[in-house]
Amino acid sequence: MGELAQFAPNTNPPLAASLTLAIVLFITVANSPLRRDAVRQARVSIGATWIGLIALAWFSGPLLDHLHVSAPNWRIATGLLLVVAAIVDIFGARIEPVLFRPELGALALQTGRDHGVAATILASAIGLATLVVWRRDNKAVGRAVALVQIGLAVALLLDGVFAI
């Protein structure tokens, strides 16, 4: 963990804030094994959600600057939100047909701030594409995906802590 502290925020994001981590986090937040059937039955537009995520990424810098929130602080907040959302997914308290959830928006802001709009477009497209590719609901796999999300969110959170 000592090597994480040597990187300045927004100049050269460390391993925990890498684009690969962002892609995997978008996949886990979409959590297709839990949400695919609910999204299909409600006919929720994946494209509209994707455009909203791009808009958040586009305005992430000015928005967070206006709110006086630094990139490391936003990583911490996003990590905490992702952990809480994954815990809720594990215990099955909510499986709604809403794609544009707070954790997805926070992740779009974080990715846009750390990596830019193009990276957010790529990462969110891959994450949302899993809703199209995944074939059926599977609560056990969905809960396993949520466990992976907790581990990755803790890595993101720790990255924010060490970057301060």
Domain that holds residue 48: 15-163
Q: What is the pLDDT of residue 98?
A: 73
Rounded Cα gap, residues 86 and 78, in angstroms: 12
2 found inside a domain: no
**C-alpha radius of gyration, the chain, whole number:** 15
111 found inside a domain: yes
Rounded Cα gap, residues 138 and 163, in angstroms: 37
Please determine, for residue 146, whether its predicted confidence score (pLDDT) is greater than 50: yes
Give the model's confidence band at 153: pLDDT under 50 very low, under 70 low, under 90 confident, else very high.
very high
pLDDT tens per residue across span 1-50: 444 444 444 455 554 458 899 999 999 999 888 888 777 777 778 888 99
Q: Are 8 and 164 in contact (CB under 8 A)?
A: no
8 found inside a domain: no
52 found inside a domain: yes
User: How much is the average pLDDT of 131-138?
Assistant: 84
Task: Write 58-66 long-range contacts (CB < 8 A, 24+).
Answer: 58/112, 58/117, 59/112, 60/108, 60/109, 60/110, 60/112, 60/113, 61/112, 61/113, 63/109, 64/109, 64/113
Higher pLDDT, 92 or 159: 159
3 found inside a domain: no
pTM: 0.84
48 found inside a domain: yes
5 found inside a domain: no
Give the model's confidence band at 79: pLDDT under 50 very low, under 70 low, under 90 confident, else very high.
very high
Give the model's confidence band at 96: pLDDT under 50 very low, under 70 low, under 90 confident, else very high.
low
Q: What is the pLDDT of residue 12?
A: 55
Instruction: Report DSSP letters for 10-23, one per residue.
Output: TTS--GGGSHHHHH
User: How much is the average pLDDT of 106-114?
Assistant: 94
Please determine, for residue 137, whether its predicted confidence score (pLDDT) is greater than 50: yes
Cβ neighbours of residue 73 under 8 Å, at least 6 residues apart?
160, 164
Please determine, for residue 161, whether its predicted confidence score (pLDDT) is greater than 60: yes
Number of domains in the chain: 1
92 found inside a domain: yes
Q: What percent of the chain has pLDDT over 90?
A: 56
Q: What is the pLDDT of residue 93?
A: 62
Task: Spell out the alpha helix ranges (H) of 93-163.
Answer: 102-115, 117-133, 139-163
